[in-house]
Amino acid sequence: MKAQLKGILRRQVSRFLPTAEARQYARWMKRHLAHRKEQFTEAPEPGLLSIATAVWDGSPVEHLKTLAQSIRKANRASTTDWVILDNGVTRDHLLAALADIRKIPWVK
């Protein structure tokens, strides 16, 4: 319990009081993302890119939902296919999440 608490506190400290390296990385990432936004102004050619994701009973459903939100946001022009590889999912919460995701037209 004590070790867990120390770990939690350490993560919170670095979240609110980042190191010099963390601040430097955050600045670099901000510049990098701005540059990429300028560089890639158009949606990719349809059919040029597919994303493949394997899902099985051990897959964290929250990660899958977060991934779905991220891909939806990035694929507003619907030019990218998302191929979900169902590796024998039997858990109800994952099956429900997959059913919702498969309603997206560009999900295969």
Identify the H or E element spanning 101.
helix 92-101
Residue spans per domain, the chain? 1-41, 42-108
Which pLDDT score, from 0 to 100, does residue 37 have?
A: 87
| Nearest residue to 107 via CA among 56, 58, 55 | 55
Rounded distance between C-alpha atoms, residue 26 and residue 33, angstroms: 11
- Specify whether the CB–CB gap between 98 and 84 falls below 8 A: yes
Q: What is the mean pLDDT of each run of 10 residues along the chain (108 residues)?
A: 79 82 94 91 84 96 96 92 96 97 96
At residue 77, the 3 state secondary structure works out as coil
Which pLDDT score, from 0 to 100, does residue 32 have?
A: 96
